[in-house]
Structure formats: structure tokens, C-alpha cells
Structure 1
Amino acid sequence: MPTLALVLELHHPLPAPGRGAGPEWARSAAEVFWPLLRALDDFAGRAGDASITLAVSPSWSALAADPAARRLVRRELQAEARRREGGRPLLRFVAESGGDALALIRRWHASGAIEAIPTAAAHAWLPSVAADPTVAGAQIGLAAADHASRFDARPSGIWLPFLSYAPGLEATMAAHGLRYFGVSADAFLRGTVLPPAGTLAPMATPAGVAAYAVSPPPGPAVDPRQGYGLDPRYADPKQAPRAALDHAQHFLDRWAEEASTPPPDADADAPAEPVSVVALSAHDLARAWPHGGVDAWLARLLERLSGDGTVRASSLGRHLARNPVGVMGRPAAAAGGPLAARPAGSDLYDRCRAAADLLTFALERRRTLGPEGREALAGMLRSLLRAQQIDWSHPVHGGVDPDEGLRRASAHLARFHECAAALLSGRPGLLPREPGPAFLPNLDPDDAAPG
């Protein structure tokens, strides 16, 4: 019986420096996130032995926990309920949950049906910044600590933004107690060893952390040009349920077929439990269903995963617990993309690497600092991480213009140097606190130290 491992990713870019959540967060929460959370809640209530993985970014958690952002979402949902009848059940579900998305995720994780893990601390292209051990420690360690604080449980794995793996990151993961991560299938197959089962079994890195190959989705679900969401039946409330069921079954059938097909040159000894990993971003799914229906499709897919006797749906942590032994090796570095080394043709990551040198100097002296000094150091860490974020391309109602993204990054770097100057001059108490959603609110500089 093949194992299908579904990873859903929740992420939303933070607002501009010093700003609170805006209408783009409220619309995304009302149109994308809360409908998906409702589908996940239905799954968690009847999952049985099935389980999936939910990767939650610290940025998304900061917005979901922010009281002002919650009020914006509630007003948007109320307006949607007035505009159309279909908005009322969602508003009722949000009201019954108290509008607390993090509490829902905590409950699901405790039940075992949905394993929650963090993404890296900032949506950066990690191969361009994480060669510095201080940055690697901050990206991995602070994400794990923030997740543990938000969800009352230490995570067992981590999800890398854009699957942007760089060799050596697994050592930092191991130092922070993380047991697995995902890489693209092509990076997995370009690694130090050709796995005998291809992408259908994890690879055990020398640090003891497992790497899972993430395959492209087996259907048109995330291609807005030919996706399931273009089916005109979704515009008809009477036909939409049938369309969602058809598309969910098609997706599942193709996925199960791929999971059951070993590579042509595979060894005779197949893995004890072959696994196929597919990751879906909430925003990619929303873009694929431009006229709604993504939550109906996801609900039907999750229903099939929990009730189909021909496949096993498993979170990555559960699969690894059952299959702790794998071929020893290490994936290759992620190949890169348009925002990789020089975002929008800028020298942003060069400036971030220069700032990391100053951060390393400050971190080495963290044990000599008083409370105000450690808070200034925490401000340096937050600002540098936010400067590295290149999530401008996320389809958040048009996304963020790259020039605006670079301006925001420069403002974060300016804040970084302001915190550094206050710390090194011995006047850290003069720093004003930044308004806006609390990103990494309980940041402890010790969690950012290199592993």
C-alpha cells in the first residue's frame, strides 16, 4: 500500500515596517485561509489513522495571533456574509472557534491528525544567506522556538521556503532537534547518492536528519492556466460539489499511481513503505481556483485520503517514525530561481551578509548583556530576518511590487543598524518598540546561536 504525504503550507507576507495588518490580509484570511482551516477541521474530526502535515510560517502565525488583524478579518467575514448566502456558514465556523486559528492548529496537532511544523523564520532564498552559520542558526532555531511557543509542542521537522535547501543546513536542524525536511525531487536525485527507490523513500543525511523528495502535484490543481478551478461547474452551487468530487478523485488516482510506480532502474528490494510527498501552498491553491471552490476540492481530497482503503495518508513525522532507516546521503543544493541570488537585480543579499558579520559579533557577547541589551539584540535578529524575506511573488491580491519589496528590506536593514548602534553604544534602552504584528515575539538570542 503506497503512502501519500500531503504538506499544506500557510504563509502570508508581513506588512510594511511599522504598519499593522491591512486589507490584503483580511481578504486572504476570509477567502483563502479560513475556508482551508474549515476543511482541515472537518478532516481532523474524522481522520482515523490518516494524517497530513501543515507547515506554518512565523509570519502567518504573527498575523493570525494579532488582535487588530483578527478584528479586520471578522469585519471582512461579516461583509462577505452580507454579500452572499454562502458566507454565513464560514462566519459561523470562525465565531465558534473564537477566531483563533492558532488554537485550532494546536488542537489538531495534539490529536495527531495534522502534524504542525514551521517554515524557516523568514521566507528567504536560504542558499544565498544561510552559508553563514549565524544566519542558518537564526533561520532554523528561531523558527523552531517560535513554533514551540505558539503551538505548545516542539516541532519534529521544518519546511524550507521555496524548498530552498543548501547542503549543511541539516546540521543546524539536528542541533535544534529537527528530524526531517523536504527538498525538490530534482535536488534529491542530484545528491551525493542516487537513491535505489528514487523519490519514494527518504534519504538519511550524515547529521541524522531525513530528507524527503517533494514531487510536483500530479494534476493541474496549481496551474492557473489549466487548473481544475477553471471548470465552469464551480460557478453553479448545484454542480460545484460534483466538480470538486471529480477533481479530488482524479488528483488522488494520479497521485496513487505515481506512488505505486518505482523508477525503471530501481533495486529489486523496494522500500518497506514507499512514500510520495506533494506540497500545496494555500495561495497557489487560491490562484488555481480564481472563482472559488478550492475549499470544496480540498475537503473532498481530504475525505478521500481518510477513507480510501487503497492508500495510506501519513504526515512526514509518522512516516519517519515507521521508517527510521534510509540510504545515507545528502541532496544537492536547490537550483535557484528569479529571486534567488540577487532579488530584483539588487545587492540585497550582499548587504544582508555584511550585516550578519555584525550580528555574529553581537551574538558572541549575548551572555554579558542585560535585559535591554538582549532586547536590542533581538531587534537586530528580527530586522535582519525580515530584510531577507523575498515573498513578494506570493499572489496576495496582486502581491508586492519588487521595488516596494526592496524599499521594505532597506528599511529593515536600517532598523538593524539602529539596534546595533544602540547596543554597541551602551544605550539599548532608547530604542522605540516597533508597532505591527508581533513577529517572533518571544525571541531568545540563545535560540539563534549556531548549532
Structure 2
Amino acid sequence: MSGSEGTFCLVLHSHLPWLPHHGRWPVGEEWLYQSWAHSYLPVLDLVRRFADEGRRDVLTLGVTPVLAAQLDDPYCLRAFHDWLGDWRLRAEHAATLWRGDGVLRSLAAEEHRAATTALTDFETRWRHGFSPILRSYVDSGTIELLGGPLTHPFQPLLDPRVRSFALRGGLADTAQRIGSRPAGIWAPECGYAPGMETAYAAEGVERFLVDGPALHGDTSAAHTVGQSDVVCFGRDLEVTYRVWSPKAGYPGHANYRDFHTWAHEVGLKPSRVTGQQVEPADKAPYEPALAAGTLRTHVADFVDTVVARLRSLKARHGRESLVVAAYDTELFGHWWHEGPAWLEGILRALPEAGVRVTTLRGALDAGHLGAPVDLPASSWGSGKDWRVWDGEQVADMVTANSALQQRLLGVAGRAGQRDAMRDQAVSEALLALSSDWAFMVTKDSAADYARRRALAHTERFDELAGLLGREDPAATARLAELRAQDSPFGHLDARDLYFP
């Protein structure tokens, strides 16, 4: 150990379900393009700046295969380029519409600058998609990359054969995109069932995340799980919840930009939070200078929180300890406008405060490995159990998904000639099994859209299963139509799902 205050790991989990060709506004492709513009572009630009400085092991970045597929997809790349141009046009329109209001006019000018910067960044660095950019930062050691199963299913509810297929396919997909398999994964929703570590070990997974309560709050070190050599890291909720919790956090401060309030005539967000109970029409205009001052306060507060936590853990355990703070990447920029600037602030300020900032890999290299543990069934959702994905509100979806998996296993192909119809059927089934749909229903967030998506992919699976073996023009045309809409994983081979 170095004699520093201790070790801090920032882990970001980047994920959206498959959205192309499935609606635009308010849920659908717009969700992808907003997250891309306001989270993925600035976060990757932040990583680029650290890479240019020669920094290594700055943060751990999880990227789900289904998100990577969208950020590499030619259709999405073209459509996002159009979206960025439209953003700049909306800002120009706002400048005209708001020319009589100095505060709003300045906001429109700032939006125009941001849109122009994003367009330039996209046109110069993203012309060949996301994976070449990501690969450069993995190869340079600036970040540690976490992978995951293909379409982000809630693994504890999967048949073990489907679970293994989805994880193996996801790791292979990441390897194809960046040239190497990640050693760690972000288990979707941090979902865990006892014994899953054995399957992880079989697929070469060396480490994964769980939520703090799964370790009974003892997140000061990583732990091997059960009798395996697979290591789990737990989110430190005392620190993580300082930023974002089910009830409070920095993004809700009155001076920050309000996520929910739109000026629909220009498609921009002109207001600050102002107050949690203030109606949208009564919210004050957003002022960047006010937000910047608050941001500096929250950077300092977070650094103080991490240092205090590390000191208390050291006093308790008699050794340097570890703090892991983990969040959805989309929080930073998409949900919390000021989030990317906050990230850069803490990643620069923590080392100055004597804290080792590193990746999960770096934390193990620094010796933060405790005794083996047996983990309970858990997740990072409400109650820290499975209720979000296996509760009463989604009982019908759970039943439908269980039946779908059995039908899926029934169409798995034996070794022999590859079958495009079978491959597409398996893709549709995996898209139906995305954890997002149950989450959205349980949380009543675009629940109708989520139910429609799950049902649509299930019905498409059944339709394709019924077309297996047919080579007539109608069947071929239908296959081509569905592949044009939903084909995130060209390498997916249904034969890999067959178990003799």
C-alpha cells in the first residue's frame, strides 16, 4: 500500500435497450440520441483528455453489447448525425424566438455552441462508430472495460442454458468490436443468484458488481465468491447515494438544469430545478453561472465524503480501504446536465486529496481483496432483491418469458449449416428478454411502450419459428424485413444454443 487515504473506483454502466426503428418520441430513438449527445459524447471526451495526459486506470466503464451495437450501427450513425444538425437548428430558432430575453438568449447561444461542438466531435472522431474510439482507450489502459450479456437480461430469471448463451455471446461481441474479451462484467441490474459465479468462471469472467447490501454493507474490499476465484465488488452506498439515491442527490439542487421541463416550441430545456414542488410554468430560467458555482461545492463535498469514508473504514479495519461508487453513465449529461463536468472535477480533485483513483483491476493490484463470501440473491433495484423484475406488477411478463425460453431452447439448431431464420428468431427472443421492459413497467415509466416491445419481439420469435424450413419468397421477404429492423448481432449463431 502507498500510505494514501485509500482507493476510490468510479464505475459507469452504459446501457440502453435496442431502440432503432421502434418509435421516436418520447420513448424510442430520441432516448438514444439524447443520451448519445449529452452523455456518451462528453464522457468519452473526458476520457480522451485523460488519455492525452497519459493517465491510466482512470475509471471502469461498462458498455453493454446491445448499446455498443447501436453506437456502431450505420443507420443509427446517420440518424444521430441528422439529430445533431437538428439540435443546432433548434438552438438557432430559440435565439430568434428569445431575442427579447437576455437570459434565455444567452442560453440559446450556449445550446448552439454545444450542438456545434458535438457535431464537430462526431464528424471527426465517430465516423467509423464507437468501437474504434473505445478500443483506443482500452488499449492505452486509460479505462477498464466491463462487458455483459447480449441484450441485458435479468440473469437470475433465465434458464441456465439461455443465461450461458447470452453471456458467452456478449463477451464474444465485445471481443469482436475491440479486439479482446473483458475480464469483468456489469451483471445486468447487479442481479445475482447463488451459484452464478460457477457459470461466470466457466465463461472466463473474473469480476463483477453487486450492490452494497449483498455484502451486508462491507464493501471496503473485493471478495472471492463461494468456492470460486471470481471476485465481486460492492457499491458503497454511503458514498454513491451522496450523488444519486431513490430520494435525493446532487442533481436535484435548485440551481441545476431541470430535466423534465421543456420549451416545446424549440425542443430545449430552459429552466433550472428551482424547487422540487415548483410547477414547470413557474420555474426560473437556467443560469449556467449559478450551476457552475453549485457544481464546485458538490465536487468538494463528494471529495470530503470519500476521504471521510476511507478514514472511517481504515479506523475500523486497520488497513487502507476501498470505496466503489457506481452509476448509470446516462445520469451524467442526459439526466444531470452538469454531470460530465462534475465527473471531471472529482477525478482531478480526489488524487489531490490523497486518494488513489483507479479501476477495479487496479484495486485488486493494490491489494484490496478480502475473505471469500457467500452472496444472497440480490440486485441493485428496489428492496435490493428481485421484486422489480419478478414482482406482482410484472408476473404476467415473467410467466411469458419463462415460456418463451422453453420455446427458444426448442428451436436451437444442431451443428450443421447455419440458418438465418433461426438466428433471427433467437435475436428476437433475446430482445424480448431485456430487463428494461419489466423495469419500465414496475416503475411506471413508459410502461405501455415496454409491454408493447416485449410482446412484439415475442410474437416475432413465434412467427419466425413457424417459418423455419420454409424457403418460399414470402418467408424470405419477411425475414429480410425483420433483419433490417432488429439485427444488432450479426455474429449470433443459433447453433451455439444447442445442448445435446
Q: TM-score, normalised by structure 2?
A: 0.76
Kindly indicate whether the alpha-carbon contact (under 8 Å) linking 2:12 and 2:326 is maintained by their aligned counterparts in 1.
yes
Q: Which has the larger radius of gyration?
A: 2
Seen in structure 2, the aligned counterparts of structure 1 residues 248 and 65 have a Cα distance that, compared at 3 Å, is same
1:51 aligned to 40, 54, 58, which one?
Answer: 58
Q: Following the alignment from structure 1 to structure 2, what is the Cα–Cα distance between the partners of residues 324 and 246?
A: 30
Kindly indicate whether the alpha-carbon contact (under 8 Å) linking 1:6 and 1:315 is maintained by their aligned counterparts in 2.
yes
Seen in structure 2, the aligned counterparts of structure 1 residues 355 and 43 have a Cα distance that, compared at 3 Å, is same
Q: 3-state SS of the aligned residue for 2:343?
A: helix
Q: 2:126 matched to which residue of 1?
A: 98
Q: Which amino acid aligns with 1:81?
A: R
Q: Which runs of 4+ in 1 moved over 6 A?
A: 16-21
After TM superposition, give the deviation of residue 377 of structure 1 in Å: 3.6
Q: 1:125 matched to which residue of 2?
A: 154
Q: 2:232 matched to which residue of 1?
A: 211
Kindly indicate whether the alpha-carbon contact (under 8 Å) linking 2:58 and 2:358 is maintained by their aligned counterparts in 1.
yes
Q: 2:108 matched to which residue of 1?
A: none
Q: 3-state SS of the aligned residue for 1:103?
A: helix
Q: Which moved more, 1:253-262 or 1:321-330?
A: 321-330
Q: Following the alignment from structure 1 to structure 2, what is the Cα–Cα distance between the partners of residues 133 and 226?
A: 37
After TM superposition, give the deviation of residue 399 of structure 1 in Å: 8.8
Gap regions ≥5 residues in structure 1: 191-197
Kindly indicate whether the alpha-carbon contact (under 8 Å) linking 1:180 and 1:210 is maintained by their aligned counterparts in 2.
yes
Q: Which moved more, 1:314-323 or 1:406-415?
A: 314-323
Kindly indicate whether the alpha-carbon contact (under 8 Å) linking 2:147 and 2:182 is maintained by their aligned counterparts in 1.
yes
Q: 1:333 matched to which residue of 2?
A: 377
Q: Following the alignment from structure 1 to structure 2, what is the Cα–Cα distance between the partners of residues 267 and 275?
A: 11
After TM superposition, give the deviation of residue 420 of structure 1 in Å: 3.0
Q: 3-state SS of the aligned residue for 1:303?
A: helix
Q: 2:36 matched to which residue of 1?
A: 29
2:305 aligned to 254, 257, 282, which one?
Answer: 254
Match runs of 1:172-211 below 5 Å:
172-189=199-216, 198-205=218-225, 206-211=227-232
- Show CA shifts across 1:138-196 (max 9, x none): 23212111111122111111101221111222122111111000101111229xxxxxx
Q: 1:195 matched to which residue of 2?
A: none
Q: Which amino acid aligns with 2:219?
A: T
Q: 1:403 matched to which residue of 2?
A: 448
Q: 1:274 matched to which residue of 2?
A: 321
Q: Following the alignment from structure 2 to structure 1, what is the Cα–Cα distance between the partners of residues 74 and 295?
A: 34
After TM superposition, give the deviation of residue 203 of structure 1 in Å: 1.3
Q: Following the alignment from structure 2 to structure 1, what is the Cα–Cα distance between the partners of residues 334 and 53?
A: 28
Q: Which amino acid aligns with 2:12?
A: L
- Show CA shifts across 1:273-293 (max 9, x none): 52211111123344652xx22
Kindly indicate whether the alpha-carbon contact (under 8 Å) linking 2:42 and 2:340 is maintained by their aligned counterparts in 1.
yes
2:189 aligned to 143, 147, 162, which one?
Answer: 162
1:221 aligned to 243, 250, 271, which one?
Answer: 243
2:414 aligned to 366, 379, 394, which one?
Answer: 366
- Show CA shifts across 1:321-360 (max 9, x none): 4448541222111143553214743422222222323333
2:67 aligned to 49, 60, 69, which one?
Answer: 60
Q: How many residues align?
A: 427
Q: Percent identity?
A: 24
Kindly indicate whether the alpha-carbon contact (under 8 Å) linking 1:140 and 1:172 is maintained by their aligned counterparts in 2.
no
Q: 2:101 matched to which residue of 1?
A: none
- Show CA shifts across 1:180-226 (max 9, x none): 00101111229xxxxxxx21111112231101111224454225975
Q: 1:76 matched to which residue of 2?
A: 83
Seen in structure 2, the aligned counterparts of structure 1 residues 18 and 223 have a Cα distance that, compared at 3 Å, is closer
Q: Following the alignment from structure 1 to structure 2, what is the Cα–Cα distance between the partners of residues 30 and 237?
A: 19
Q: Following the alignment from structure 2 to structure 1, what is the Cα–Cα distance between the partners of residues 246 and 210?
A: 23
After TM superposition, give the deviation of residue 384 of structure 1 in Å: 2.0
- Cα RMSD between the aligned structures? 3.1
Q: 3-state SS of the aligned residue for 1:207?
A: coil
After TM superposition, give the deviation of residue 23 of structure 1 in Å: 2.8
Q: Following the alignment from structure 2 to structure 1, what is the Cα–Cα distance between the partners of residues 22 and 405?
A: 22
Seen in structure 2, the aligned counterparts of structure 1 residues 168 and 18 have a Cα distance that, compared at 3 Å, is same
Seen in structure 2, the aligned counterparts of structure 1 residues 314 and 267 have a Cα distance that, compared at 3 Å, is closer
Q: Following the alignment from structure 2 to structure 1, what is the Cα–Cα distance between the partners of residues 249 and 335?
A: 6
Gap regions ≥5 residues in structure 2: 92-110, 258-285, 379-383
- Show CA shifts across 1:355-375 (max 9, x none): 323333444x521x3122xx3
Q: 3-state SS of the aligned residue for 2:490?
A: coil
Q: Following the alignment from structure 2 to structure 1, what is the Cα–Cα distance between the partners of residues 113 and 374?
A: 48
Q: TM-score, normalised by structure 1?
A: 0.84
Q: Which amino acid aligns with 2:363?
A: H
Higher RCO structure, 1 or 2 (CA under 8 Å, sep 6+): 1
Q: 3-state SS of the aligned residue for 1:148?
A: helix
Seen in structure 2, the aligned counterparts of structure 1 residues 123 and 86 have a Cα distance that, compared at 3 Å, is same
After TM superposition, give the deviation of residue 53 of structure 1 in Å: 0.6
Kindly indicate whether the alpha-carbon contact (under 8 Å) linking 1:222 and 1:285 is maintained by their aligned counterparts in 2.
no
